[in-house]
Structure 1
Amino acid sequence: MSNLSFIREPFTERERAILSNYFTNTDKPVFGLINLPDVVKGALFARYSRSDKSLRRLFLDEFWIDTPDSAGTCTTGGLNTERAGRLYDKMILDFGDDSVAQLGGAHLACEQVSNLLAKFIEKGRIASYLEQSTRYVYYNRKREGRYGYLTSPEIESSSCCALYREFMDALFDTYTDLQQRLIPVFRERYPRTEGMTDGAWENTIKAKACDTIRGLLPASTRTNLGIFANGQYYEYLLIKMFASRNREVLAYADMMLTELRKMIPSFLTRVDLENRGRAWSRYLSDIGDDMERFVPQPGAVLPASPQPNTVELVGWDPDAVRRIVRAILYEYSDRSKTQLDQTVSRLTEPELGQIVRAYCGERLNRRHKPGRAFEAASYEFDLLSDYGAFRDIQRHRMLTIDWQRLTTDNGYFKPAILEELPAEGALYDGILRRAQQVFETLRRELGPDTAQYAVPFAFRLRYAITMNLREAFHLIELRTQRQGHDSYRRICLRMYELMRDRAGHGLLTDGMLFVDDNFYDLARAEAEKRKSAKKGQ
Structure 2
Amino acid sequence: MTVYVPEEFTSDESDVLRRYFTNLDGPVFALVNLPEVVKGALFARYSRSPKSLRRLFLDEFVNDLVIDGDETIDATIGLDRAEQLYERVFFEYGDDSVAQLGGVHLACEQASNILTKILEWGRLMSYLEQSTRYIGYDARLGGRYRFYRDPALLSSSLGTRYVGDMDRMFDAYSTAVNTVTEHVRDTVPQDPDDSDFVYRTATRAKALDAVRGMLPAASLSNVGIYGTGQAFEALLLRMRSHPLPEAQQYADLMLHELRKVIPSFLRRVDLPDRGGQWSDYLASTRGDTAELVGRLFGEVPNESVPEVSLVDFDPEAEDKLLAAICYSHSHLPETVLLERVRNLGVDERAAILRAYVGDRANRRHKPGRAFERVDYRFDILSDYGAFRDLQRHRMLTIEWQALTPNHGYARPELVEQAGVGGLFDETMDRSARLYDDIKAQFPEQASYAVSMAYRLRYMMQFNAREAFHLLELRSAPQGHPSYRRVALAMHRAIAEQAGHHAVAAAMTHMTHEAPELERLAAERRAESRRSM
TM-score (norm 2): 0.83
Measure, in 2, the Cα distance between the counterparts of 1:477 and 1:443.
39
| Residue deviations 1:148-180 (CA, integer Å, cap 9, x gap) | 001112312221111111110010000001111
Shift of 1:420: 2.9
| Residue deviations 1:80-123 (CA, integer Å, cap 9, x gap) | 64443223222222222211110101000011010111100101
Q: Counterpart in 1 of 2:159?
A: 161
Q: Counterpart in 1 of 2:126?
A: 128
The partner residue of 1:252 within 250, 253, 256 is 250
Could you tell me whether the CA contact under 8 Å between 1:388 and 1:458 is conserved in 2? yes
The partner residue of 2:234 within 236, 242, 247 is 236
Shift of 1:247: 2.1
3-state SS of paired residue (2:260): helix
Q: Counterpart in 1 of 2:312?
A: 315
Instruction: State the aligned residue count.
Output: 460
Shift of 1:301: 5.2
Measure, in 2, the Cα distance between the counterparts of 1:474 and 1:390.
17
Q: Counterpart in 1 of 2:354?
A: 357
TM-score (norm 1): 0.82
Could you tell me whether the CA contact under 8 Å between 2:237 and 2:269 is conserved in 1? yes
Could you tell me whether the CA contact under 8 Å between 2:386 and 2:482 is conserved in 1? yes
Could you say if the C-alpha distance between residues 92 and 205 of structure 1 is closer, same or farther in structure 2, counting changes exceeding 3 Å?
same
Q: Counterpart in 1 of 2:494?
A: 499
3-state SS of paired residue (1:344): helix
Q: Counterpart in 1 of 2:425?
A: 429
Q: Counterpart in 1 of 2:51?
A: none
| Residue deviations 1:274-323 (CA, integer Å, cap 9, x gap) | 110011000111111211222244434559xxx99700000001110011
Measure, in 2, the Cα distance between the counterparts of 1:79 and 1:262.
12
Measure, in 2, the Cα distance between the counterparts of 1:353 and 1:431.
53
Measure, in 1, the Cα distance between the counterparts of 2:306 and 2:292.
27
Measure, in 2, the Cα distance between the counterparts of 1:36 and 1:431.
44
Q: Counterpart in 2 of 1:375?
A: 372
Shift of 1:427: 0.7
Measure, in 2, the Cα distance between the counterparts of 1:160 and 1:498.
45
3-state SS of paired residue (1:262): coil
Rg bigger for which structure?
Answer: 1
The amino acid that maps onto 2:255 is: L
The partner residue of 2:447 within 449, 452, 465 is 452
Q: How does 1:137-536 map to 2 (within 5 A)?
A: 137-295=135-293, 296-300=296-300, 310-421=307-418, 423-447=419-443, 449-536=444-531
Shift of 1:521: 1.7
Measure, in 1, the Cα distance between the counterparts of 2:356 and 2:210.
40
Gaps of 5+ in 1: 1-33, 39-77
Could you tell me whether the CA contact under 8 Å between 1:153 and 1:247 is conserved in 2? no
The partner residue of 2:87 within 86, 89, 92 is 89
Could you tell me whether the CA contact under 8 Å between 1:309 and 1:413 is conserved in 2? no
The amino acid that maps onto 2:511 is: D
| Residue deviations 1:302-352 (CA, integer Å, cap 9, x gap) | 59xxx9970000000111001111111111112221222232222123322
Could you say if the C-alpha distance between residues 79 and 427 of structure 1 is closer, same or farther in structure 2, counting changes exceeding 3 Å?
closer
Measure, in 1, the Cα distance between the counterparts of 2:299 and 2:366.
41
Measure, in 2, the Cα distance between the counterparts of 1:486 and 1:142.
27
Could you say if the C-alpha distance between residues 308 and 486 of structure 1 is closer, same or farther in structure 2, counting changes exceeding 3 Å?
farther
Could you tell me whether the CA contact under 8 Å between 1:309 and 1:385 is conserved in 2? no
Could you tell me whether the CA contact under 8 Å between 2:475 and 2:484 is conserved in 1? yes
Measure, in 2, the Cα distance between the counterparts of 1:405 and 1:232.
28
Could you tell me whether the CA contact under 8 Å between 1:140 and 1:172 is conserved in 2? yes
Shift of 1:35: 8.3
The CA RMSD over aligned residues, in Å, is 2.1
Give percent identity, aligned residues only: 44
3-state SS of paired residue (1:263): coil
3-state SS of paired residue (1:283): helix
Measure, in 2, the Cα distance between the counterparts of 1:404 and 1:184.
37
Q: Counterpart in 1 of 2:10?
A: none
The amino acid that maps onto 1:373 is: A
Could you say if the C-alpha distance between residues 309 and 182 of structure 1 is closer, same or farther in structure 2, counting changes exceeding 3 Å?
farther
Measure, in 1, the Cα distance between the counterparts of 2:306 and 2:255.
39
Segment of structure 1 superposing worse, 119-128 or 180-189: 180-189
Shift of 1:36: 12
Could you tell me whether the CA contact under 8 Å between 1:134 and 1:210 is conserved in 2? yes
Measure, in 2, the Cα distance between the counterparts of 1:327 and 1:202.
49
3-state SS of paired residue (2:458): strand
Could you tell me whether the CA contact under 8 Å between 2:407 and 2:456 is conserved in 1? yes
Could you tell me whether the CA contact under 8 Å between 1:309 and 1:460 is conserved in 2? no
Shift of 1:401: 0.4
The amino acid that maps onto 1:299 is: E
Could you tell me whether the CA contact under 8 Å between 1:376 and 1:468 is conserved in 2? yes
Measure, in 1, the Cα distance between the counterparts of 2:130 and 2:468.
26
The amino acid that maps onto 1:243 is: S
Could you say if the C-alpha distance between residues 293 and 357 of structure 1 is closer, same or farther in structure 2, counting changes exceeding 3 Å?
same
The amino acid that maps onto 1:254 is: D
Measure, in 1, the Cα distance between the counterparts of 2:278 and 2:287.
14
3-state SS of paired residue (1:110): strand
Q: Counterpart in 1 of 2:48?
A: none
Could you tell me whether the CA contact under 8 Å between 1:321 and 1:352 is conserved in 2? no
